[in-house]
Amino acid sequence: MVEVGQREAKKRTFRKSHPYPPYDITEALKFATIVERLGARNVSEPILLKELGLTTFTKSFWGKTASAKQFGLLTVDGKTYTLTERAKLILRPKDEDSKKNLLIESFLTPDLYNELYEKFLGKEIPPLDTLANILLHDHSINVNVSRDAAGAFIDSAKYVGLLGLDNVLRKPTKGSETVPIAEHKEAGSSGQVPSTIPDAVTASIKLSKGTASIMLPEDGITKKDCERLKKLIDAYIEEEESVNR
């Protein structure tokens, strides 16, 4: 039989998670699009649930709402939902550059993402499970959600163009391109790495089907960098072979 004191001690060990976006920024934008379609301002919860085909408040609904709020796309007043000006400008942009800037601004809005950005800027993002453990130990993210939170961060960073195929978190660069998450999930994607590289030289390599160009830093690259490049090339070869089968 468990004593009362033991039950209380057990209860005290439960730790509420630090705020975080449960879903990545693309899901938050999809949710914002639905709110816009319903009028964008003071949309009631019952109407929103009905539009989503739900009869009651669900964990998924909460997660998407929380994510949209974390990214600064949505405000909630009781049971009414209103898009922010930022969300409106992203969904109806004046031009692509302003949209990209606002996406990056949204990405850096959650406190957790700002902390991770400062921690990993210029560094390679750890594997998913390792990043989840970092969130657990260093950022007070509950163990039950740390892996999902880590995945949402990685996917969001890729979407807004701050995380390229080299998996290094970089600063926003003028003219950087937003690359859809789907392209990053395919290691051999032909999508461009969303960045420009300062102080770089271009190396051209003749191939059987044309010429490939690669930008390298003037100071050269390390052996580890060579291994990363080889992995990217190998991944592309595998994808090409599977397509031609």
pLDDT of residue 148: 96
Predicted TM-score (pTM) of the model is 0.66
pLDDT of residue 243: 42
Q: What is the mean pLDDT of each run of 10 residues along the chain (245 residues)?
A: 49 64 96 96 95 90 96 95 97 93 96 96 96 96 95 97 93 57 37 39 53 58 70 55 44
**Tokens in use for 214?**
């690669």
pLDDT of residue 132: 97
pLDDT of residue 210: 53
pLDDT of residue 173: 72
Q: If residue 75 lies in a helix (H) or strand (E), which one and from where to where?
A: strand 74-77
C-alpha span between 215 and 197 (Å, rounded): 7
pLDDT of residue 212: 59
* Amino acid type, 4: V
Q: Which of 114, 192, 197 is nearest to 157 (CA)?
A: 114
pLDDT of residue 222: 73
Question: Residue 87's CB: how many other CB atoms inside 10 A?
Answer: 26
CA dihedral angle for residue 185, residue 190, residue 196, residue 197, rounded to 10 degrees: 90
pLDDT of residue 209: 53
Strand partners, 202: 215
